[in-house]
Amino acid sequence: MSGNSSEPNYEVVWPLGTSAYKTRVPNARIDDLSGKVVGELWDYLFRGEEIFPILREELTKRFPGIRFVTYDVFGNVHGPQQRELVADVPKLLKQHGCNAVISAIGA
């Protein structure tokens, strides 16, 4: 608090300061997942073992020829080795020919 008036006067910091990261334009969305390869990334924390099979089944019905690289191929992207695992994700996505990724399933 600062000042001498009877009303409090607080010094504050503006929350919309300069960004620490450069913004980038996101890649264009894929119009149609038919014939595409979709990678699954999971942190092994919330129901992925239930949700991913449902997503696979429903997406397969909707998009002929869609294929999946399942989350077990990429490993747990959360935890003590997450920096190393996440650093390998781009290489693994390329290696498996992934066109898209389903990530961050949670509550």
Domain that holds residue 79: 37-102
Residue 9 lies in a domain: no
- Residue 4 included in any domain: no
* Predicted local distance difference test score (pLDDT) of residue 52: 93
Q: Residue 11: inside a domain, yes or no?
A: no
pLDDT, mean of residues 64-75: 93
Please report the pLDDT score of residue 16 as a whole number: 78
Mean pLDDT throughout 67-91? 87
Q: CA-CA distance, 104 to 107, in Å (whole number)?
A: 10
User: Is position 69 within any domain?
Assistant: yes
**Per-residue pLDDT at 3:** 54
Confirm whether 86 is domain-assigned: yes
* Mean pLDDT of all residues in 95-104: 92
| Residue at 92 is within a domain | yes
Q: What is the pLDDT of residues 14-66, one digit of tens each?
A: 777 777 778 888 888 999 999 999 999 988 888 888 899 999 999 999 999 99
The answer on pLDDT for 2 being more than 60 is: no
For the chain, the average pLDDT equals 87
Question: 83 or 17, which is more confident?
Answer: 83
Task: Note whether residue 55 is domain-resident.
Answer: yes
- Counting the structural domains of the chain, the total is 1
Residue among 83, 75, 71, 84 nearest 40 (CA) = 71
Q: Is residue 24 part of a domain?
A: no
